[in-house]
Amino acid sequence: MEEASVAYIGLGSNMGDRHGYLYQALKKLDDNPGIDITSCSSIYETEPYGPVEQNEFLNMAIEVRTSLSPEELLKVCQTIEYSLGRKRDIHWGPRTIDLDILLYNRENIKMENLKVPHPELSKRLFVLTPLKEINAELTVPHMNKSIEQLYENLKSEEGVRLWRPNNGEGEFGLFEN
């Protein structure tokens, strides 16, 4: 891989085989020649966020090295979501898979279809918990706070439970071969 950027992606699923959708999404990301998964968090079961009544999520975060631009990475994520049956009918509604670019290098990106750092990052314990596991010292651009500091602001909230730890065994440390 030529000049690589570092990005963090949040993954979530709350429909059907949640675990299977996470695995398939990781596999598809890993199969992309422009993406190298360098770290995976454990998987957390989380209460749904927002006003829509729905099932609990499985959430995790990954760190990737990528030769893709932010726009190209977004397109890959959206293509994977679509291939795994993601429908965008209800805002904050249930989904087979959700892939969000949380951070991309130390860039502030404001485009119509992509905002990085993710605008809700500092408000979501289900994002900060797995990110903290991967890189607690990571500083979020424009906030000048680390993931650890943002996590400390929310850690008293409930609704995020360890579901499957990354034990370093099997594919991505989370799945049996």
**Catalytic-role residue among 17, 36, 100, 106:** 100
Place of tokens 């959430």: 59
Backbone angles phi, psi at 132, to 5 degrees: -60, -35
**Is 100 an active-site residue?**
yes
Q: Report the alpha-carbon angle 158-164-166, nearest 5.
A: 115
**Catalytic-role residue among 30, 31, 36, 86:** 86
DSSP secondary structure letter of residue 35: E
**Is 98 an active-site residue?**
yes
Count Cα neighbours of 107 within 13 Å in the Cβ-side half-sphere: 18
**Catalytic-role residue among 30, 95, 124, 164:** 95
Q: Rounded to an integer, what distance in angstroms lies between the CA atom of residue 29 and that of residue 164?
A: 20
Using DSSP, state whether 59 is helix, strand or coil.
strand
Copy the structure tokens of residue 51.
């006003």
Q: Rounded to an integer, what distance in angstroms lies between the CA atom of residue 51 and that of residue 168?
A: 36
**Is 161 an active-site residue?**
no
Torsion of CA 159, 150, 148, 126, to 10 degrees: 30
**Catalytic-role residue among 98, 106, 161, 164:** 98
Residues identified as active-site: 86, 95, 98, 100
